[in-house]
Structure 1
Amino acid sequence: MERVVVAGAGLAGLQAVIALRGQGYSGELVLVGAEPHPPYNRPPLSKAVLLGDADDPTLPFDAAALKVDVRLDTTATDLREGELDTDAGTLAYDGLVIATGAEPVRLPGDGAIYLRTRDDAVALRSRLQAGERVIVVGAGWIGAEVATAAARHGCRVTVLEQAATPVTHALPAEVGRHFAPWYAAAGVELLCGQRVAAVRPDGVDLADGRRLSASLVVVGVGVRPATSWLEGSGLALDHGVAVGPDLLTSWPAVVAAGDVTARWSPRYATRIRGEHWDDALRAPAVAAATLLGRDETYDPVPYVWSEQFGRFVQYAGHPAASDRIVWRGDPDRDPSWSAFWLTGDDRLTALIAVGRPRDLVQGRRLADRGVRVDAELLTDPAVSVQATVAGLAG
């Protein structure tokens, strides 16, 4: 291949560039990014940047050393086999990495802030002033982190959630309900079962006809893969760019990585939408290997973390509806606790750990291996998660 183009200059795009060079690719390399900023980390945007603990999430990046032609403020607009159209012209390619990420799900109406980019975070932080009335729509990972920052800045915060409990996109109600008391303890009003019909610059309209006023509305109800520019191209899409475990798309010499993908997982026999930092960090190495003709696959146990209301929350795995949950610690009483999803034969499929990072690390390894555990031992916080497999057959 004489020229490889990487579409998307976020973490996944940067990691693809690093991986290609690290795996021996010596041809022309072009990195195209829609934003004017060099590659940066997104997790700090809703955490350290909003809190005021950090200003610069820029990733270490030496374009000269990597011999990459960086074209920022350049948006991919269309795709044909061998050609990538951008708003600055057409780029021919022999190999292509699609890493255009995701974009926020938007609600009807105007005037709300959607947190996705570095500029979004800086603009939002400037408006989080003591005494301001802030409405956050969505009690998922991002909504909780925005509420945390707003409360820390002295804002009067209300979080509106359509579901009955927080984090329903990832957690069942029996787990998510334990997140609800954290809001009140932080001085944040949480209103569940509230569907927002429209957002306005000065508040929101609820589906039941009520209108709530605020000086600032922030929406965090999820993201969707940034694939609108690929519609009509003929490339296979399935709630994201459809890729196999090798991250190859339906076209030869075109791979995809990061938030934009919907990857087939042999482990779970379904498509996985990663949408998290861990995928953007790790998947590009496999995408690069596939592009260079090597036989590698990417099929990890999914992982995400959140920092909200003074708690470190980690979640890993992909539970099935039939799995049962066992608890390690009492969420109603203990400051730190974990919950584990087990199959009928006591194999660990997923876990959530609140303030228990060791549980997460060990549990994620067991989920990856698919081994059986002793469910009774697992409920004892004094026993390491790893020790619960002692004497059991895998």
Structure 2
Amino acid sequence: MVEKRNHRTETCSPGVATDGPLTRQLPVASHDFGPRVLAIAIDPRCQSTSPDPRGSEHFLDASDLGMSPDAEGYQEFLEDIGSAPPWSLSQLQGYFDRRYAGWDDPPKLSLASPVRRLQYLDEALRSDDPQSIDETLRELDGEVKNALLRSLLRDSSSDELCFLTLLVGELGAHLFDQREGRKNDRMEAERHRQQREESLLTSFQAERATLTQQMEELAAEAEGSRSELARCRAQLQAAQAEEVESSEMQLEMQELQAANRRLSMESQQLREELQELKAQKAMLLAAKEESDGALDELSRRWSNASGSLRDAEADSPPRKRASRGGQPQASLLGRLADDLSAEGRLRGALMAWRMSCLESKMKHCQTLQADLTMANGAAKGKRNCQVEGCCCQREAEWHVLKNVEDLTQR
């Protein structure tokens, strides 16, 4: 509903809160309840809630209008409104519009009216411009005095009109003072707000500087942490590489241990063969000594036999038959000497061949023992170099693997 106002009073539209009691006084007849409604203060104390939930619209009961169901004219009032209480403000305003046409229109003042000029101030007070309202309130005191003078100069003026005019002036002055006080309060509040904003801005800037410094320190600390993290990662990678290398070395060590066990078994077999060869060598040496003794004995006997034959031939006379019979004996002795010589040579060659075989086996056993000692020392020895991937370590590992391969091939 459109809000209607005039220079003396206001009516509140449904659902709109009011700043205070707004009243309009009209002549009240003894049998008419319509004008009484306009004398009711429309505030929370004079309002009730309808059972029908229709938002925040205000409703009035019969008691709010100062009437009772048994009062004179109550039924006629119900028929005019068209419904039982409670009534909404829109229903009551419709009733007023039908019964009192133009009841809320502003009064028409003649040019000779003492308060004619106040009507223009009333129109200015409805403006939305605060500066225009302040200027109107400043001019109100002068206009009130002008209206009082014009009222006093008229014979038809009444004390009531003068009182109302003075009251309007007092209200205007009070309103002006209130507005000025609120304006000063607003200015003071604005000043306090600006001071607070400045203090907050100063504290904010100081806090921002502190936070900036802390952020820089945290950034430096984070950079150091990143550097430390990178170093730790590098150490971790190096440790992982060392772990992989140690795993490889462990595998190689296991292989070397297996090869060492095989070499130990082969060395044991070689030692057993060496013992057998030594026993055979001793037997051969004994046989050689025996054969040398037998050969010396045969040589001695041969020398003795040859000397005896030469002596016998020199002493006996030469005979043909003797010469014929001596040839077979001489040939027999020659064959015997040849057989003995051949047997001695064969025995010597056999002994030389056996000695060479024994010497080669001994050298081979000594070489195997030296290689085995070197392989064991390389496998069990500790690394003296602390540099990862050094050439000396690679060379030592290569020699160990080479020795193991050579020993395996042998």
The TM tier, using the shorter chain, reads: under 0.3
Return the structure number with greater helix share.
2
TM-score computed with the length of structure 1 as normaliser: 0.19
Q: Tell me which of the two structures has the higher relative contact order, counting C-alpha pairs closer than 8 angstroms and 6 or more residues apart.
A: 1
Q: Which has the larger radius of gyration?
A: 2
